[in-house]
Structure 1
Amino acid sequence: MNLSMIRYVLGLVMMFEGAFLSLPCVVALIYNEGKGVSFFIMMIVCLLLGFLLRWKKPKNHVFYVKEGFVTVAASWIIMSFFGGLPFVLNGDIPSVVDAMFETVSGFTTTGSSILSDVEALAKCSLFWRSFTHWIGGMGVFVFVLAVMPLTGGQNIHLMRAESPGPSVGKLVPKIRKTSMILYKIYIVMSVIMVAFLMIGKMPLFDSLLLMFGSAGTGGFSILNTGCATYTPYVQYVIAIFMMLFGINFNVYYFLLIRKFKEAVKYEELRYYLLFIAASTLLIVINIHNTFDALEPVFRHAFFQVSSIITTTGYSSIDFNYWPEFSKVILILLMFSGACAGSTGGGIKVSRLIMMLKTVKKELLSYAHPRTVRKVKFNGRVVEHEVIRGMNVYFVAYSFILMFSILIISLDNFDFLTNFTAIASTLNNIGPGIGLVGPTGNFGMYSDLSKIVMVFDMLAGRLEIFPILVLISPYTWKGLKLRRKK
């Protein structure tokens, strides 16, 4: 275990968080808010800790998978802890556990909240709360590698530990250029969305915060009513951009370099759009009797489908009152998630399709034992290592889901509430159904349940294994033996 390299990278992350914390300080100055002092204090603390951790450069720059997983998991926990302390210091969220829950929910782009009155927050707190979505959406290490690449040629291990999907590759030979391409696309799309929202006569501050939630597919609302009171135009803009940010960013890269055949070849994209279209149509048919006109039926159905499948979590209506059929569709979309390589969470469409193809392959092998068949995806043969990793992921995912539901059941809420609470946190969605629906929040749960859901949010965002590697005794066993010697 290269502890010196892990320490050095953690120092980089702390310094970047310190730089990010300067933005809510600026917002506090603009709106003349005294609560901005808490963000200034934490900015200084993060910069100082980052400087101390980077004081001595590591001699060994070798960075393997284990170090990558440990570093990414530890970084997200540390960022969330220090990112939540300003809420405690300024009194907006006095409880450390609640502040940690809210900040982890922000960085992991979950959007689940313990707050019942978000409009009571200071502007600087509202800004930081939503800005964590934008930071976590693309991933802090993608940003670090784009701005300040690490030496040693092992940076792909950091990117793989943080990026969503069954397999992660490079768009171009160098990791730094790949990271820069991804962030340029991310920034340009973010700016375009802000422009569209402002065309709809939305103030710049509100436009920025809604963009942070949509781009990062996070979903922290800035009004107690969510997105229900916005104009149809604004709701359509949010719904469309949520859907766009749920697409694999590699598709946008191929479109930019005019390799249209490569972009169209993405099988996951076709299934993703099919899921959205089919789900929207089914919900429209199911709820059309509850509205007088067809347009609001389509708008709310499309908005909620786009919000749930991309794991954003914004709500334009209280879907708790929808028929059971429509609610079940939304629950299924919670597990589907968006495309790999996007800012969305969930299991990912690519994993679902590959799992179904694997089942089909096994069925055909039973019917025709002598026939040799291979699973193909995007026109390429899927390597056995990817399928093995996918199966292990699904087993780990299922156990975490079951045990989490079991633990939070100690709070004695109904099964639907508990099930969708864990489904929404593990899949980084935000709202669930029942007491944690669009008009509810997670503040009613005990500290133990909140800690379980914090773990689930981190595990879901980091694709489970980095956080498991961090807490596994096997990771540190060799280190202890070497120290004894």
Structure 2
Amino acid sequence: MTLTVFRIILFIISAVGISFVIPITAALFYHEYSALPAFLIPMAASLVMGLLSLVFFRKKKSQLSIRSSFAAVALAWVSASIFGALPLYFSGAIPSFTDALFESVSGFTTTGATILPEIESLPRSINLWRCLSHWIGGMGIVALTVALMPVLGVGGFQLIKAETTGPEKGKFTPKVTTTAKILWFIYLGMTAVQTLLLKMAGMDFIDALCHAFSTLSTGGFSPRNASIGSYNSAAVDWICFLFMFLAGINFTLYFYLFTGNFNEIKCNSELKAYIGINAICIAVITFTQSGYYGGFFKALRFSAFQTASIMTSTGFSTADYTTWSSAGQIVILMLLFIGGMSGSTSGGIKVIRWVILYKQMKNEMLKMIHPHGIFSVRLNQRAGRKDVVFSVAAFFFMYFSLVIITTFFGALSGMDVLTSFSGALTMVGNTGPAFGSLGPSNNYSWLAAPIKWWYSIAMIAGRLELFTIFIFFTPAYWKK
């Protein structure tokens, strides 16, 4: 069992190392030769690890137990984050390893919180790696490995279940490797389309690619100090809005779309709620900010962008929403609690969990009126499992427990209440910008090292939806 987990970790480190080919190519193209060793040395080490795992473990195929699946996924994310920090640290772009690790964790978990006060002065290959780490982590490090390495043969579905977001988890093809490959092909295709559109809107190729990586992963890193706002382009804003909105949708629905299974899309309860919440929030912010922006259409542009950015946990900014009216800021704060759809690249609590709680609330009121009635939570026009409600309740308890603990640690480090609380929400929800001293016009560089380490743990826990991390603190996990 231990060897199997070790083998998976080596494969994942190798996959991350191979992805260094992309920033290495950029470094060569832009003559950034001083940055090459920062990528080449870790890449060579990762390839050696991958080769050793193939040579020594090629005949050792076994199924993972449930316990080992959780351990493999948690260790995979920690290992990938540490390994991904090496180019940032070795290149000198981030001299502190604590800061480099924070940036790497923020990248892979698609949080988008940066410690870099000056981004545009970095080598373009380093900025490309920051955004690429988003893209790899967006669909899932383990999902990528399962898709590329069917030779593993070690219970891929258990790994996917431990990593995938949302309470409803499954596969839409008989083989989990086929499912993972289809999702990655859809992801890759959407990234290519957005890159092309951004290039047509005036970005150069590397900037377009970086922002496509960050948008489809709902990450938020940008090679520009002022993020998307630096382009001051309505076309760029609307393209990014569209793809942020699309990235917040369950990617399984795209498979149903391409295969003509429209009924699964039409009756999807979460999709209806996701569209409705976006529409209502955009309308409210547009109405409250029309005077601020001097007109309806300009207010619509900025409200739509920020609504999609915060709800999907992307974290891009075209405006400093902390200067908006109180009503507009309240809507943004509420969106930090919601998130995108399950099975998307978004962070946050997820729309489906709010839908389940809302339907259960209605059922409880109906039971008060009809004490002998039998009511069930109906999802997608079908009766849902009763245990889903209990699972969602447990998730909410863990989610807000971690938010409260993280808020307390933030307060201990010297933050004010608003900054501590909103910072905790953005770390656990993988959103990025918060309020107060961690607002969209600020960064995380000023935080003390201990809080950066805790925030890194909170980001990984949030990306793995808490259960995968919290389970290690239960005595039952360690009992044989």
TM-score by length of 1: 0.95
- Deviation for aligned residue 1:151: 5.2
Residues 119-130 of structure 1: matches in 2 within 5 Å?
Answer: 119-130=120-131
The equivalent residue for 1:213 is: 214
The equivalent residue for 2:101 is: 100
Match of 2:315 among 313, 316, 327: 313
The equivalent residue for 1:44 is: 44
Contact 1:74 1:470 in 2 (8 A): no
Q: What is the CA–CA distance in structure 1 between the aligned matches of 2:55 and 2:457, rounded to whole Å?
A: 31
Residues 14-53 of structure 1: matches in 2 within 5 Å?
Answer: 14-33=13-32, 34-53=34-53
The equivalent residue for 2:363 is: 361
The equivalent residue for 2:119 is: 118
- Deviation for aligned residue 1:175: 0.6
The equivalent residue for 1:224 is: 225
Deviates more, 1:164-173 or 1:62-71: 62-71
Q: What is the CA–CA distance in structure 1 between the aligned matches of 2:217 and 2:345, rounded to whole Å?
A: 6
Residues 77-226 of structure 1: matches in 2 within 5 Å?
Answer: 77-150=78-151, 152=153, 154-226=155-227
Letter in 2 for 1:293: G
Correspondence 1:330 to 2:332: yes
- Deviation for aligned residue 1:189: 0.7
Instruction: Give the match's secondary structure for 2:120.
Output: helix
Contact 1:70 1:469 in 2 (8 A): no
- Deviation for aligned residue 1:426: 0.7
Letter in 1 for 2:470: L
Q: What is the CA–CA distance in structure 2 between the aligned matches of 1:166 and 1:466, rounded to whole Å?
A: 13
- Deviation for aligned residue 1:466: 1.3
Q: What is the CA–CA distance in structure 2 between the aligned matches of 1:461 and 1:270, rounded to whole Å?
A: 24
- Deviation for aligned residue 1:17: 1.1
Letter in 2 for 1:43: M
Residues 276-425 of structure 1: matches in 2 within 5 Å?
Answer: 276-425=278-427
Moved over 4 A (4+): 150-153, 470-474
Q: What is the CA–CA distance in structure 1 between the aligned matches of 2:472 and 2:97, rounded to whole Å?
A: 22
Q: What is the CA–CA distance in structure 2 between the aligned matches of 1:369 and 1:166, rounded to whole Å?
A: 29
Q: What is the CA–CA distance in structure 1 between the aligned matches of 2:79 and 2:420, rounded to whole Å?
A: 27
Contact 1:97 1:447 in 2 (8 A): yes
The equivalent residue for 1:462 is: 464
TM-score by length of 2: 0.96
- Deviation for aligned residue 1:184: 1.1
Any gaps of 5 or more consecutive residues in structure 2? none
Q: What is the CA–CA distance in structure 2 between the aligned matches of 1:163 and 1:117, rounded to whole Å?
A: 34
Contact 1:7 1:54 in 2 (8 A): no
- Deviation for aligned residue 1:367: 2.8
Contact 1:417 1:432 in 2 (8 A): yes
Instruction: Give the match's secondary structure for 1:119.
Output: coil
- Deviation for aligned residue 1:332: 1.1
- Deviation for aligned residue 1:202: 1.3
Q: What is the CA–CA distance in structure 2 between the aligned matches of 1:406 and 1:455, rounded to whole Å?
A: 15
Q: What is the CA–CA distance in structure 2 between the aligned matches of 1:458 and 1:473, rounded to whole Å?
A: 21
Q: What is the CA–CA distance in structure 1 between the aligned matches of 2:461 and 2:95, rounded to whole Å?
A: 25
Q: What is the CA–CA distance in structure 2 between the aligned matches of 1:371 and 1:154, rounded to whole Å?
A: 42
Contact 1:11 1:54 in 2 (8 A): no
Q: What is the CA–CA distance in structure 2 between the aligned matches of 1:370 and 1:472, rounded to whole Å?
A: 38
Letter in 2 for 1:46: S
Q: What is the CA–CA distance in structure 1 between the aligned matches of 2:161 and 2:173, rounded to whole Å?
A: 15
- Deviation for aligned residue 1:423: 0.6
Are the structure 2 counterparts of residues 115 and 393 from structure 1 closer, same or farther at C-alpha, using a change threshold of 3 Å? same
Instruction: Give the match's secondary structure for 1:118.
Output: coil
Letter in 2 for 1:47: L
Residues 221-260 of structure 1: matches in 2 within 5 Å?
Answer: 221-230=222-231, 231-260=233-262
- Deviation for aligned residue 1:361: 1.6
Cα RMSD (Å): 1.5
Instruction: Give the match's secondary structure for 1:68.
Output: helix
Deviates more, 1:288-297 or 1:315-324: 288-297
Q: What is the CA–CA distance in structure 2 between the aligned matches of 1:123 and 1:473, rounded to whole Å?
A: 47
Match of 2:454 among 449, 452, 455: 452
Letter in 1 for 2:126: S
Q: What is the CA–CA distance in structure 2 between the aligned matches of 1:329 and 1:159, rounded to whole Å?
A: 33
Contact 1:139 1:162 in 2 (8 A): yes
Letter in 1 for 2:56: K
Contact 2:94 2:100 in 1 (8 A): yes
Any gaps of 5 or more consecutive residues in structure 1? 479-485
The equivalent residue for 2:477 is: 475
Deviates more, 1:45-54 or 1:197-206: 45-54
Q: What is the CA–CA distance in structure 2 between the aligned matches of 1:338 and 1:59, rounded to whole Å?
A: 39
Contact 1:109 1:133 in 2 (8 A): yes
Letter in 2 for 1:9: I
Q: What is the CA–CA distance in structure 2 between the aligned matches of 1:320 and 1:277, rounded to whole Å?
A: 21
Q: What is the CA–CA distance in structure 1 between the aligned matches of 2:42 and 2:215, rounded to whole Å?
A: 26
Count of residues paired in the alignment: 477
The equivalent residue for 1:428 is: 430
- Give % identity: 33
Deviations 1:147-178 (A, max 9, x none): 21255572111111111111211111111111
- Deviation for aligned residue 1:471: 5.5
Deviations 1:27-85 (A, max 9, x none): 11111111121111111122223333454327461213221111011000010001102
Deviations 1:10-30 (A, max 9, x none): 111111111012221111111
Q: What is the CA–CA distance in structure 1 between the aligned matches of 2:243 and 2:41, rounded to whole Å?
A: 35
Deviations 1:255-311 (A, max 9, x none): 101111221111111110111110011011111111222221100000000101110
Deviations 1:226-275 (A, max 9, x none): 11132111111011110011111111111101111221111111110111
Q: What is the CA–CA distance in structure 1 between the aligned matches of 2:263 and 2:339, rounded to whole Å?
A: 25
Q: What is the CA–CA distance in structure 1 between the aligned matches of 2:312 and 2:363, rounded to whole Å?
A: 29
Letter in 1 for 2:28: L
